[in-house]
Structure 1
Amino acid sequence: MHSYRLPSALLLALLAACSAPQSDQTASGPTTRGVDSADARPVEPMDTTSASVANAQSDTLKAVRTRHLFSSPTAPDLFQLVLRGDSLLSSEATFTITAADGTVIFRETLSSADLEASMVYQMTKPGATKAEREAYVRRRMNEFFADKNFRKPAVGSTDIYQPGTVDRAVWDDLRRRPDAVGFSYLVGKEDGRRIAWSTLRKQVVRYGSTGG
């Protein structure tokens, strides 16, 4: 049988192809699509606990704030009440307590009506002018964090547990702590609320009520 011999030129071409180095793409592995460095970083979760930076806004009508010992026996918390909206009588007030490390430990929203409602007990004549109502809302805000609204201890020796506010274990723990600070505030006409920091629950709790 006769053996088949490749032409010399074809044989040389095949040998050159086999000995050629691999391309840069093959040597370095698979290529990736062009991705912006910002897109490549994982998206951080929203922080819903840190206090937001207070900026002057056109819809902020009034803001009151004070610092008082509350969640810590040594570092005062920041108490704030900020009213935002179109007018003093149709706005929304945000009540927040921020710990010394910047964590918002309490947040509640109140309406202008919540702040104005108790005016009815101070009226000496039927009806009130818009100016009188606005003045009352301002005064309520100015007095919201008055010293008289803070009490230490939060639970006194003669206080009685109120079912429906907080569980008994938390209330008993507050009663055993002479350094616990309570804060009282009024919502509407008669909804008086008492709150304190619970070391047992690691959160602000409502432990008492006054009024209707």
Structure 2
Amino acid sequence: MRLAPLLLLPLLAACNTDPTATTETAATPPTATPAASDTGALPPPDTARAKAVSALGDTLRVVRQRRNFSHSEGPADAFRLVFRGPSVLKGTAEFTITDPSGQVIFREMLTEPDLEAALVYELKTPTATPAEREAYVLRRIDQFFQPAQFQKPAVGPQATFPSSIENLDQATWADLKRRPGTIGFDYLKGKEDRQRLAWSPLKKQTVRVR
């Protein structure tokens, strides 16, 4: 019975071990942390990309071009067309212009019919096959930002005021006519609706001038 204290010495030594060293050794490595899907927690929303998400489906095509627009010199603006949807013939395109500071100064949604409508002028037969329609839409997207579509000045000195354009006032039009350095961007929407955009220094926004 007197030998019992000697038997307890190893146990007492174990109880006096430094707990800090034990914690570091037993720490769970980062890879062992349960995923958000396992815990039921959702990741925080990415507000920076919220506008780039579309319920239509996957991104099918993206075209980008950097051209001067809001300023005739200096850093260029970013022109971008993102085409999304379940298929080419059921997609929608988002057309944006972003200035050098990162501010979106123009946004427009273009439907698949907006991009396909002019195909009628190229048809050799009464109708087009789905493959021909898809090829035409993709070609329109790929060629959306051609160099020839950027015009300078945006409004020529002999141009007449287009009264049919909504939200374009005489003062903005007259100011653009006095600025030979302004740049216009032309694009086709639908079958024959050729539009021109320009940056108005007077209104500090993108306006349609044709």
- The answer to whether TM tops 0.5 is yes
Provide the residue aligned with 2:204 in structure 1. 202
Provide the residue aligned with 1:138 in structure 2. 138
Provide the residue aligned with 2:150 in structure 1. 150
- Aligned partners of 1:52, 1:98: CA distance in 2, in Å? 16
- Aligned partners of 2:163, 2:209: CA distance in 1, in Å? 9
> Given residue 90 of structure 2, which amino acid in structure 1 is its aligned partner?
S
Alpha-carbon distance, 1:190 to partner: 1.1
Alpha-carbon distance, 1:158 to partner: 2.5
Whether 1:90 aligns to 2:90 is yes
Deviating above 2 A after TM superposition, structure 1's stretches of 4 or more consecutive aligned residues are: 50-55
- Aligned partners of 1:95, 1:159: CA distance in 2, in Å? 26
RMSD: 2.0
Provide the residue aligned with 1:175 in structure 2. 177
Q: TM-score, normalised by structure 2?
A: 0.71
* 1:51–1:193 Cα change, 3 Å: farther
Alpha-carbon distance, 1:124 to partner: 1.1
Indicate conservation of the 8 Å contact 1:82/1:95, yes or no. yes
> Given residue 139 of structure 1, which amino acid in structure 2 is its aligned partner?
R
Alpha-carbon distance, 1:188 to partner: 0.7
Provide the residue aligned with 1:120 in structure 2. 120
Alpha-carbon distance, 1:53 to partner: 8.7
* 1:52–1:71 Cα change, 3 Å: farther
Task: Kindly provide the CA deviation profile for residues 156-187 of structure 1, in whole angstroms up to 9, marking residues without a partner as x.
Answer: 12322111321111111111111100011111
Alpha-carbon distance, 1:52 to partner: 6.6
Q: Flag the structure with higher helix content.
A: 2
> Given residue 178 of structure 1, which amino acid in structure 2 is its aligned partner?
P
Aligned residues: 159
Task: Kindly provide the CA deviation profile for residues 6-56 of structure 1, in whole angstroms up to 9, marking residues without a partner as x.
Answer: xxxxxxxxxxxxxxxxxxxxxxxxxxxxxxxxxxxxxxxxx8xx887979x
Identity across matched positions, percent: 50
Structure 1 spans left out of the alignment, 5+ residues: 1-46
Provide the residue aligned with 1:62 in structure 2. 61
Whether 1:163 aligns to 2:136 is no
